[in-house]
């Protein structure tokens, strides 16, 4: 098996809608190492979210190959793809996507219900995850009773409760102020370090990208640059 968690080779994705076809991704090749942190940048409409959807097995490319953890994603059936999405990959979004009527703990435990974990074990693991992201004592708060940064921590705890190897975050700090954004990036960096998690982050903000080891830039569906970050930002903000 290659030491890369992800190997995308020459993938393309075209949307056929009402008007002209949209060539959202054109001949993209990309590797993400195990335990690597990657930033994906580029202007609006350049294909960032489309790429995240493919990486997250939410959608399949039209052509090309996608190897995830040694498995050829293109050959997986519906159930296998669902397993990849629900267990092997975690997702975090700009607007947190929490259930408004469910407590922080219930939100975090949700993926464990689908994974068939019993309720006692669910609660135990949910509490562990909340404490890992610095939210001990907030278990029974509803999302609206939490700050934006705390809501994003709940979403991160939920995305990691099944212990996936890959975390995909589409503009995770897009709705947060600068200080809170830095705290969220420090948290992601700590989880990446401590859990050997691979992370791919879409961001518009150069300062956020500098927390990552590698930055790729998309333009018009193509990768126009790849750079290594010599000294990724390492802050030691304490969770909480
Ligand atoms: N489901 C869809 N059907 C048709 N076209 C789509 C669909 N999703 C995306 N597109 C088009 O594909 C292109 C890439 O979209 P994508 O959402 O990947 O861009 P993005 O880089 O994430 O942009 P943003 O920074 O605004 O989120 C755009 O031109 C968009 O209009
Ligand atoms: Mg997008």
Which residue of 21, 24, 204 sits with most ligand 1 atoms within 8 Å of its CB, as the best mutation to test the pocket? 24
What's the CA gap between 117 and 123, in Å, rounded?
10
CA of residue 60 to ligand 1 center, whole Å: 15
Nearest ligand to the CA atom of 170: 2
Count of C-beta atoms within a 10 Å radius of residue 70:
10
What radius of gyration, in Å, describes the C-alpha atoms of the chain? 18
Give the CA count within 13 Å in the CB-facing half-sphere of 154: 30
152 Cα distance to chain centroid: 12
Give the mean model confidence (pLDDT) for residues 33-59: 96
Full residue range of the structural domain in which residue 37 is found:
4-93+166-228
Q: For the domain that residue 84 is a member of, what is the CATH number?
A: 3.40.50.300
Residue closest by Cα to atom 30 of ligand 1: 45
Task: Give residue 3's pLDDT band: very low, low, confident or very high (50, 70, 90).
Answer: confident
What's the CA gap between 205 and 16, in Å, rounded?
30
Q: Give the residue among 83, 63, 62 at the shortest CA–CA distance from 71.
A: 83
| pLDDT tens, residue by residue, 93-116 | 999 999 999 999 999 999 999 888
100 found inside a domain = no
pLDDT score, position 234 = 87
109 found inside a domain = no
Strand order, beta sheet including 63-68: 22-33, 4-15, 63-68, 71-72
Residue closest by Cα to atom 28 of ligand 1: 45
Please provide the average confidence, as pLDDT, over all residues in the chain.
94
The residues, ordered by sequence, that sit 6+ positions from 10 with a Cβ below 8 Å of its Cβ are: 27, 28, 29, 63, 64, 65
50 found inside a domain = yes
Task: Give residue 1's pLDDT band: very low, low, confident or very high (50, 70, 90).
Answer: very low
| Residues found in the chain | 240
pLDDT score, position 238 = 54
| pLDDT tens, residue by residue, 146-157 | 999 999 999 999
Residue 56 Ramachandran class (φ > 0 left, ψ -120 to 50 alpha, else beta): alpha
| pLDDT tens, residue by residue, 15-30 | 998 899 999 999 999 9
**Is-contact 158 167, C-beta < 8 A?**
no
32 found inside a domain = yes
Task: Give residue 230's pLDDT band: very low, low, confident or very high (50, 70, 90).
Answer: very high
Nearest ligand to the CA atom of 45: 1
235 found inside a domain = no
Is the predicted pLDDT of residue 92 greater than 50, yes or no?
yes
52 found inside a domain = yes
Residue closest by Cα to atom 27 of ligand 1: 44
Ligand 1 binding site (Cβ under 6 Å of any ligand atom): 15, 17, 22, 24, 42, 44-50
Count of C-beta atoms within a 10 Å radius of residue 72:
11
131 Cα distance to chain centroid: 20
Atom of ligand 1 lying closest to residue 43 CA: 25
Is the predicted pLDDT of residue 139 greater than 70, yes or no?
yes
Cα–Cα distance list, 177 to 180, 181, 208 (Å): 5, 6, 12
144 found inside a domain = no
CA of residue 10 to ligand 1 center, whole Å: 19
Number of domains present in the structure of the chain: 1
161 found inside a domain = no
């Amino acid at each position: 098996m290659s030491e890369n968690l992800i190997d995308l080779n020459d993938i393309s994705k075209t949307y056929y809608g009402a008007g002209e076809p949209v060539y959202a991704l054109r001949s993209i090749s990309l590797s993400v190492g195990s335990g690597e942190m990657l930033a994906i940048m580029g202007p609006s409409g350049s294909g960032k979210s489309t790429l995240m959807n493919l990486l997250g097995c939410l959608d399949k490319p039209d052509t090309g190959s996608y190897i995830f953890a040694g498995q050829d994603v293109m050959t997986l059936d519906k159930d296998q793809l669902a397993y990849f999405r629900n267990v092997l990959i975690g997702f975090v979004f700009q607007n947190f996507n929490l259930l408004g009527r469910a407590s922080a703990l219930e939100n975090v435990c949700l993926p464990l219900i689908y994974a068939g974990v019993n309720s006692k074990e669910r609660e135990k693991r949910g509490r562990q995850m909340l404490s890992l992201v610095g939210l001990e004592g907030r278990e029974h708060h509803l999302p609206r009773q939490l700050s934006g940064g705390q809501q994003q921590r709940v979403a991160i705890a939920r995305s990691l409760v099944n212990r996936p190897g890959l975390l995909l975050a589409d503009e995770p700090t897009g709705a947060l102020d600068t200080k809170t954004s830095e705290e969220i990036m420090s948290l992601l960096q700590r989880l990446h370090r401590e859990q050997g998690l691979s992370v791919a982050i879409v961001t518009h903000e150069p300062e956020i990208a500098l927390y990552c080891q590698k930055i790729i830039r998309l333009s018009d569906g193509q990768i126009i640059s790849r750079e290594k970050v010599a000294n990724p930002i390492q802050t030691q903000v304490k969770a909480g």
